[in-house]
Amino acid sequence: MKNVFILLLISLLLSFASCTTKNQKKDDIPKEKLAAIVIDVKISRLEQELFKDRSAAGIRTFLANYSTFNKKYFGKFFPDDEVTVKELFAGINNKSIDTVYQNVQDVFGNMDDVRMDFANATQRIQAYYPKHRTQEINTFISGMGFWGGDMYVDDTLVVVALDYFLAEKCRYEPQLPTYILKRYRKENIVPFVVALIANRYNQTDFLDNSLIAEMIYYGKSYYFLEKTMPNLLDTAIAGYTTKDLKEIELHVDVIWAHFIDKNLLFETKNEITNKYVGERPNISEIGSKCPGRVGRWLGWQIVKKFMEKNPEMTLPQLMAEKDARKIFNISKFKPEIKG
């Protein structure tokens, strides 16, 4: 779950924002501090550069001009540049991929809104982590997953494959289950990236493979999103529709009782823990209406309770805390039942 180039990690963390009201979250960054952090974010539309010259020679020039992107984005898919040229040439001269490319241009436009979201999130991350660098942001298309993944993120580079984020606006779709693919919307591009950035700062005890450790790990990631993108809805942070989130909140006592009665919190078997933090349409063991990944949402509630009991603790201090059981014990978490 620590890999920065992984499709499912993102899909597990986030969903489309379907609430009609925004969360009223406490902002613990002074306005003066934010104002002093100047962020210059540029988005390079590399898919446009590639499609300017669809010849093999043009593709070779493109790969040479964007060598860092080439190495990092294509490196895990193709063994060398000649294979990359061959695959890209076949793809960008295919009518289906051309349709996808045109759809991307129609849907995303100049992406000024996305650029602003990146700038705001980066500003807040730097407020918490002054050494955090403003990353180079490239967009591309993945050929519906044949050339690369949905996203790549490291310390200096972000690559977003825009064809994953077309939602229902294109007749061609990546090979993903519908309940995952519906989360890939334009408004979630920046939260997806920030979720991956959170992994860089989210320290954990690799020797603790219990369910509670997994729950707290994801709970800390959700809390990171909450603090660095304070206008995000809870649905967007947790990866649920409004209906799913209400279902959880109305039956949180039943859900928590299941975890306690089945002695799940300190379970270490992957086949069991994955049922509660892994990707599933629902958790049938609890009930047909219980959405998947509910263990992550519970981890978020535990982390929030922990931070309420430690008001002087900063976000970096939380993310650096490796002891998940300490966080759980101090939180004294008990579900709040909402009628």
| Polymer length in residues for the chain | 339
Do 277 and 305 have their domain in common? yes
| Residue 185 lies inside a defined structural domain of this protein | yes
| Residue 9 lies inside a defined structural domain of this protein | no
Which ranges of the chain have pLDDT less than 70? 1-26, 337-339
Which residues make Cβ contacts (< 8 Å) with residue 164, sequence separation at least 6? 142, 145, 150, 151, 174, 184
Do 45 and 171 have their domain in common? yes
Do 133 and 234 have their domain in common? no
| Residue 2 lies inside a defined structural domain of this protein | no
Do 244 and 185 have their domain in common? no
Task: Please name the helix (run of DSSP H) or strand (run of DSSP E) that holds residue 43, with its range, or none.
Answer: strand 43-45
Which residues make Cβ contacts (< 8 Å) with residue 189, sequence separation at least 6? 114, 117, 160, 165
The pLDDT value recorded for residue 34 is 93
Closest CA to 332 of 300, 309, 312, 314: 309
Domain count, the chain: 2
The pLDDT value recorded for residue 25 is 61
Do 138 and 228 have their domain in common? no
Do 259 and 312 have their domain in common? yes
The pLDDT value recorded for residue 170 is 75
Of the three residues 164, 193, 222, the one that is the final residue of a domain is 193
Is the CB of residue 91 less than 8 Å from the CB of residue 56? no
| Residue 14 lies inside a defined structural domain of this protein | no
The pLDDT value recorded for residue 337 is 63
- Please identify which residue in the block is written with the tokens 């020039």: 61
Which residue segment(s) compose the domain that 154 sits in?
32-193
Do 90 and 187 have their domain in common? yes
Query: CA-to-CA distance for 133 and 294, rounded, in angstroms?
Result: 33
Which residues make Cβ contacts (< 8 Å) with residue 247, sequence separation at least 6? 289, 290, 291
Do 187 and 45 have their domain in common? yes
Closest CA to 186 of 201, 205, 168: 168
Q: What pTM was computed for the model?
A: 0.89
Is the CB of residue 235 less than 8 Å from the CB of residue 245? yes
